[in-house]
Amino acid sequence: MSGRVLVGVKRVIDYAVKIRVKPDNSSVVTDGVKHSMNPFCEIAVEEAVKLKEKKLIKEVVAVSCGPQQAQETIRTALAMGADRGIHVQVAGKDYESMGPLQVSKIMAALAKKEDAQLVILGKQAIDDDCNQTGQMTAALLDWPQGTFASEVALEGDKIKVVREIDGGLETIRINTPAVITADLRLNTPRYATLPNIMKAKKKKIANMKPEDLGVDLTSRLEVLRVDEPPQREAGVKVETVEDLVGKLKDAGRV
Amino acid sequence: MANPLKGEVIKLYKTLLYLGREYPQGAAYFRGRLKAAFMKHKDETDPEKIRKLVARGDFVIKELEALYFLRKYRAMKKRYYEPEK
């Protein structure tokens, strides 16, 4: 057992930012918009760091794929307690077309290269909401997967994962190495404090290219159109109960 | 002003300023309030009182971190989970 955990972190548009679609409907506006780490990735980092604090694992490695700015996200993960980072440089056209399949190929290649015991990812990113990377990584590695984890416990060479499923919880026991994806209730991520961010600057981030890992980034998907959600229509004020009932009848509600 | 607590107070101010960047009402709003709160006690010389004020600042840090976490958690819950019946 290597005791190494690989954590994937994604740089996304901050959750509090109002998303705007580009006028040509090709994608959303990302220039000059505040970015931060995907909230579910924060939960994944926190879980890995917690396991390390309990001395159940030895090293936490934060991985991010993307342009230069992805390093900020890795830095945040390092400030939260990860030991070192790996930045897989993907820029320009490759980055625009990069989807879960490409990322999971990179994650799978890195998991093998780093001899990881565990891969922890967020269940989904708040920008594309794909919810596929963890599952695909597990498939590519042919490892067991514990998705939507709301509780993780290491039991020797097995892992007990409590999963969030529709209307309840499911408890499974899987072998290691494994892939785990974090759900919202897994833990409460700590805040990356200023002194910790300063300290994180001393930690190492390795630079890599997808070619170094022998990963082909060709995408088989094409985005046809991106649209804003429909605008909420303005309401009307009614004077009397009869008015209200009449309007509701017109709308076919009663 | 060679107060031994000077470093601690500056550190507290810096930390709060950093936290304020994410404040819901904007960093500028927070900065104004923060500065006013610090300036109100600028003539304080009693080390015991300064220590108490710094402790209050540390408490505000914890409150802010909790506020940010809850805000994010609620946003995620609202977006990704069915409302509880």
Query: Of B18, B71, B77, which has the smallest distance from its Cβ to A184's Cβ?
Result: B77
pTM of the complete model beyond 0.90? no
Kindly identify which residue of chain A lies nearest to residue B70, measuring between CA atoms.
A188
Q: Within its chain, how far is the Cα of A252 from the centroid?
A: 42
What is the nearest CA distance from A194 to chain B, expressed in angstroms?
A: 6
For helices B6-20 and B27-39, the axis angle rounded to 10 degrees is 160
pLDDT in tens, A99-134: 999 999 999 999 999 999 999 999 999 998 999 999
The Cα B1–Cα B9 span in angstroms is 12
pLDDT in tens, B19-73: 999 898 989 999 999 999 999 998 888 889 999 999 999 999 999 999 999 999 9
The Cα A28–Cα A22 span in angstroms is 5
Interface residue ranges in chain A relative to chain B, Cβ cutoff 8 Å: 15-16, 39-40, 126, 184, 188-189, 191, 193-195
Q: Is the complex ipTM more than 0.85?
A: no
DSSP A218: -
Is the Cβ pair B15, A194 closer than 8 Å?
A: yes
Is the Cβ pair A191, B65 closer than 8 Å?
A: yes
What pLDDT, on the 0 to 100 scale, is given for residue A156? 84
DSSP A237: -
What is the nearest CA distance from A95 to chain B, expressed in angstroms?
A: 25
Mutation to test the A interface, candidates B11, B68, B71, B76, most A Cβ within 10 Å: B76
Is the Cβ pair A184, B73 closer than 8 Å?
A: yes
Residue A200 has pLDDT above 80, yes or no: yes
